[in-house]
Amino acid sequence: MKHLLDIADLGPEGLKEVLDLARAADPGRPLEGKGAALVFQHPSARTRNSMEMAVVQLGGHPVYITDAEVGMGTRESPADVARTLASYHSLIAARVRDHRLLEGMVAASPVPIVNMLSDAAHPLQALADLLTLQDELGRLEGVTVAYVGDVNNVARSLAVACAMAGVTLRLAAPDGFDCTDADLKAWSAYGAEVTLTSNPREAVADADAVYTDVWTSMGQEEENERRKKIFAPYQVNDALMAAAKPDAIFLHCLPAKRGFEVTDSVVDSPASRVWPQARNRMHSARGALAWLLAHADG
Ligand code: CP
Ligand code: NVA
């Protein structure tokens, strides 16, 4: 039984297979006549819709469930939620406030568990990010990506994905919102180099792609005002894009807080690939689900 709590769960071979499956003309119908439970503790536009459509394209029936119904960790333990939902569904996906809820489900689940975003990781986003880099730049090996902003769930999954795929990643973040030397060592151990600086210009120099995400993630809303001040020098604007390669592309997982982590002029520029990136969420989700189902027991 395989689960997808973060990119590392796929292994380097699995990651390649998922990206190939994402592009497969005929992914088959491994979910024919079966259900997929999609549980959300936070709102979602891209993840909900891309996952629902990926399930439909694989022949299955997605069921959208809010935490008001399951009360994961409050009304019922994550293990019992997994046992219950697995009675009806061949796959359970969840967007959770606390990554440990996903681990609690994995411990008891007879069907694959998929992380649709936690405080620690966003693997489905990282798969779409790699697919977009490959589509837009024609390769992954040897590509340099600069991630500017909060080293959050999105950045951490991106780091593992890039390292496993041979993409050099340069992180630029303020002190206290960065990562540890141990993180950098662990990520680099997958293969490609992951480095950290507090200087955004240094990170983007010669980069093929510049990536950012919101300064305040879901669940951190009370820190918003403090974060706006700290992250102001990390805005991706025309001047910062000009310091990257002349043909560098811009990526963002979305939703974007325009005027904060990125300006309209960048997100709406010809360099921006945020819409193909959003569309790739569906293709990569389909690839990930097909791969997990091929590795599920029974
Ligand atoms: N990028 C992403 O996960 O978007 P949603 O929060 O809208 O799902
Ligand atoms: N880092 C953001 C990503 C949203 C898709 C958050 O967790 O809110």
Can you give the pLDDT at residue 105?
Answer: 98
Can you give the pLDDT at residue 29?
Answer: 97
β-pairing verdict for 249-252 and 209-212 = parallel
C-alpha–C-alpha distance, residues 225 and 24, integer Å:
45
% of the chain beyond a pLDDT of 90: 98
| Ligand with the closest atom to the CA of 224 | 2
**Nearest CA, atom 3, ligand 1:** 47
Residue 231 confidence (pLDDT) above 80: yes
Query: What's the 12 CA to ligand 2 centre distance in angstroms?
Result: 25
Ligand 2 atom closest to the Cα of residue 216 is 8
The CA-CA-CA angle for residues 262, 263, 265, to 5°, reads: 130
Write out the two tokens for 10. 């796929």
| Ligand with the closest atom to the CA of 46 | 1
Can you give the pLDDT at residue 209?
Answer: 99
35-40, strands of its sheet edge to edge:
61-66, 35-40, 91-95, 113-115
Q: Which of 212, 254, 277 to mutate to test the pocket of ligand 1 (most atoms within 8 A of CB)?
A: 254
Please compute the mean of the pLDDT values over residues 103-121 and round it to a whole number: 98
Can you give the pLDDT at residue 121?
Answer: 98
Can you give the pLDDT at residue 269?
Answer: 98
Query: 130-184: per-residue pLDDT in tens?
Result: 999 999 999 999 999 999 999 999 999 999 999 999 999 999 999 999 999 999 9
Residue 91 confidence (pLDDT) above 80: yes
Query: Would you name the residues annotated as active-site residues?
Result: 95, 122, 125, 213, 253, 281
Query: 204-216: per-residue pLDDT in tens?
Result: 999 999 999 999 9
Write out the two tokens for 78. 């994550």
Query: What's the 218 CA to ligand 2 centre distance in angstroms?
Result: 6
| Ligand with the closest atom to the CA of 279 | 1
The answer to whether 263 and 237 are in contact (CB under 8 A) is: yes
Query: What's the 218 CA to ligand 1 centre distance in angstroms?
Result: 11
Residue 275 confidence (pLDDT) above 80: yes
Can you give the pLDDT at residue 187?
Answer: 96
Query: 55-73: per-residue pLDDT in tens?
Result: 999 999 999 999 999 999 9
Can you give the pLDDT at residue 243?
Answer: 98
Can you give the pLDDT at residue 132?
Answer: 98
C-alpha distances (whole Å) from 53 to each of 79, 114, 159, 217 are 27, 15, 27, 25
Q: Is residue 213 lining ligand 2, measured as CB closer than 6 Å?
A: yes
Query: 31-47: per-residue pLDDT in tens?
Result: 999 999 999 999 999 99
Ligand 2 atom closest to the Cα of residue 154 is 1
E-state strands within 215-263: 249-252
Ligand 1 atom closest to the Cα of residue 45 is 7
Q: Which residues line ligand 1 (CB under 6 A)?
A: 44-47, 117, 125, 253-255
The answer to whether 102 and 123 are in contact (CB under 8 A) is: no
Element (H, E) at 94: strand 91-95
Ligand 2 atom closest to the Cα of residue 153 is 1
Element (H, E) at 285: helix 274-294
Question: What domains lie within the chain, and their CATH numbers?
Answer: 7-122+281-294 (3.40.50.1370), 124-278 (3.40.50.1370)
Can you give the pLDDT at residue 298?
Answer: 52
Query: What's the 295 CA to ligand 1 centre distance in angstroms?
Result: 26
% of the chain beyond a pLDDT of 70: 99
Q: Is residue 154 lining ligand 2, measured as CB closer than 6 Å?
A: yes
Query: What's the 20 CA to ligand 1 centre distance in angstroms?
Result: 23
Can you give the pLDDT at residue 124?
Answer: 98
Please compute the mean of the pLDDT values over residues 99-128 and round it to a whole number: 98
